[in-house]
Structure 1
Amino acid sequence: MSYPANLRYTKDHEWISLEGDIATIGITEFAQRELGDIVYVEVETIGKALVAGAVFGTVEAVKTVSDLFLPVAGSIQELNPELANQPELVNSDPYGEGWMVKMKVDNPADVDALLDAAGYEAVVG
């Protein structure tokens, strides 16, 4: 499995990419493989300020529903519009077209405290 070195990761299997104070968030390749075929992504927190670790949405697979946890504090700005008609993008391209949300980060330095690729790989084995 791949864990791009330019991203940061959480133990809950989310990844985050930061540009300025705007972050893009999705789930890792490991997470999407564990869940199986993704059929729906629900995010009802657009425009809301949330703390790190808060549930910002859910991802539904054929056999299960899983919560999505915010890696750092901030406000959800946007849901990936492609996921409404193509939730399988999370499976086919988890680090690219399968991103889930964009958010304005309260403190960009918080991203540095998350796991790097090697740290995340050690968590998932």
Structure 2
Amino acid sequence: MSLIPSELRYAESHEWVRPEADGAMSIGLTDHAQKALGDVVFVELPVIGKTFEAGEPVGTVESVKAASEFYAPVGGEVIAVNDEVAEDPELINQEPYDTWLVRLKPSNTSDYEKLLDATAYQAVIAE
């Protein structure tokens, strides 16, 4: 069974979102996603300043099994990328909820409200 912290929101595409004190949104991959991917060996992150709509591909995560895009659960502008995870991709496997990939300045806070809570996300991955 996957770990699903209740303080986060989730996209059906298996990203988590955490609001930060400065209004930014941190985005990472869920425990379920990292288990499905297997050992992560490479992460391609977007450039700072790029903007995305909710649901658009933001970057790529490659594992020994496959390459998979990850998506913006909320629309906004990239204000930070986690260079540490780019250099050490297996952090996603080790600490999926402590390893954020990008931080966005949201363009529409209602995107966040549409995301799944932990209970709803658990139902999605149980299917």
Normalising TM by the smaller chain, what interval?
over 0.9
Indicate if the aligned counterparts of 1:42 and 1:58 stay in contact, CA closer than 8 A.
yes
Q: Counterpart of 1:41 in 2: which secondary structure? A: strand
Paired residue for 2:9? 8
Q: What residue ranges of structure 2 are gaps of 5+ in the alignment?
A: none
TM normalised by structure 2 equals: 0.93
Q: What residue ranges of structure 1 are gaps of 5+ in the alignment?
A: none
Structure 1 position 48, deviation (Å) = 0.9
Indicate if the aligned counterparts of 1:9 and 1:15 stay in contact, CA closer than 8 A.
yes
Structure 1 stretches of 4+ moved >6 Å: none
What is the identity percentage for the equivalent residue pairs of Structure 1 and Structure 2? 44
Alignment of structure 1 residues 22-101 onto 2, 5 Å: 22-96=24-98, 98-101=99-102
- Asked if 1:116 corresponds to 2:117, the answer is yes
CA distance in 2, matches of 1:85, 1:55: 21
CA distance in 2, matches of 1:44, 1:112: 24
Indicate if the aligned counterparts of 1:45 and 1:57 stay in contact, CA closer than 8 A.
no
RMSD (Å) for aligned C-alpha atoms: 1.1
TM normalised by structure 1 equals: 0.94
Indicate if the aligned counterparts of 1:21 and 1:106 stay in contact, CA closer than 8 A.
no
**Number of residue-to-residue matches in the alignment:** 124
